[in-house]
Amino acid sequence: MARPTARVLALLELLQSGGVRTVAELADRLGVDERTVRRYVDHLLDLDVPVESVRGRYGGYRLGAGYRLPPLMLSDDEALAVLLGLVAGRHTGLTAVADAGHTAGETAAAKIRRVLPERLRHRLDAVLDALTLTAAPGSRATAVPDSQVLLTVADAVRGHRPLAVRYTGADGRRSERTLHPYGLVAHEGRWYLTGADPAVGEDRTLRLDRIVGVRTLPGAFEPPSAVDPAERLLRGLATAPYRYRVVLRVRLTAERIHLRLPASVAVVQALPAAEPEAEPGAERWSRVELRVDRLDWLPAVLASLDAPFAVEEPAELRTLVAAFAERLAESAARVPD
């Protein structure tokens, strides 16, 4: 059973969420009767918290306008959830850069830990000390953007406002452009901005950590209907120009293929069913297209699909697959001394 003080604080938290709360609603949320709710309101008034009484059919209680909220209060579960979220955000690159080389997640976590009771702080430290976060295979190092760039871009996305962007490309060259921003996407430790360049009428995908300056321009634009920034990003990454264009046919669904070749790497298209079906109930064939700078990692990935496949192009990949199969056969036949 919660102590009365805890219930009074819980009442304050309910009122802080805004709007008018009926006495019946508050009593139900706190697990007390309506008379006790009124007594808790009196406690808040004694603490100079301006709780206003609203009369009428839809009346109840609300906080007075302009009231400055007290410091944040978290339960044990809430504090653990916040700290774990900050740790995960720092690990995946979702926290923006703060001052002195620290991320905003690091400074926020430090502030929260300083104000926690000693008992809870020790328990959370034990969780964090025991926790290990591993990167997904092939994941890249995080590249966090400037916080002001992130906030400016997010505001323009929500308001459909054009942006003037100063950008540093992968080759180090700087450019200035106008962009109609569609959305922000966090993918594999990096932030991306998807949008359209109205000067050339083409879609653009920019890394936020390479934006060195951004400002909102006057006016507004109408984004395309049903635009999906994540889908645009993944398709753009999968079709970007690389050294090799690889085309495969794999007897698996797109969902199973993407377990080994994610959508940011491979574009998968279902092929029409063969007539007649060679094996009733067998999975349909899919066409897989990807662009890569190296081929040496693909034979092992294709073998891990554990499904029939055929290489349409390039011919070098067929040679690598044959060599990989030969090495596997030699290893399987080898008997240890």
Residue 227 pLDDT greater than 90, yes or no: no
In the chain, the domains with their CATH numbers are 4-63 (1.10.10.10), 76-130 (no CATH), 147-224 (2.30.30.520), 244-333 (3.30.70)
Structural tokens at position 210: 């390479």
Flag whether pLDDT at 27 surpasses 60.
Answer: yes
The b-or-e profile of 223-240 (16+ CB within 10 A means b, else e) is eeeeeebbebbbbebbee
Residue 318 pLDDT level (bands cut at 50, 70, 90): very high
- Across 114-209, the runs of DSSP E, i.e. the strands, are 163-168, 174-187, 190-197, 202-207
Checking if the pLDDT of 86 tops 90, the result is no
**Quick one: average pLDDT of 172-179?**
88
Can you tell me the distance from the alpha carbon of 232 to that of 230, in angstroms, rounded to the nearest whole number? 5
Contact partners, residue 282, CB within 8 Å, separation at least 6: 251
Closest CA to 16 of 65, 69, 52: 69
Residue 95 confidence (pLDDT): 56
* Joined tokens for residue 58: 């839809």
What pLDDT, on the 0 to 100 scale, is given for residue 275?
46
Confidence (pLDDT) at 319: 93
36, 105, 235, 254 from 231: Cα distances, Å: 53, 28, 6, 15
Q: Is the pLDDT of residue 276 over 60?
A: no
Band (109; pLDDT cuts 50, 70, 90): confident
What is the per-residue burial (b if ≥16 Cβ within 10 Å, else e) of 53-79? eeeeeeebbbbeeeeeeeeeeeeeeeb
Can you tell me the mean pLDDT for 82-103?
62
Helices (H) and strands (E) in the chain, counts: 11, 11
Greater confidence (137 vs 87) lies with 87
* pTM score: 0.48
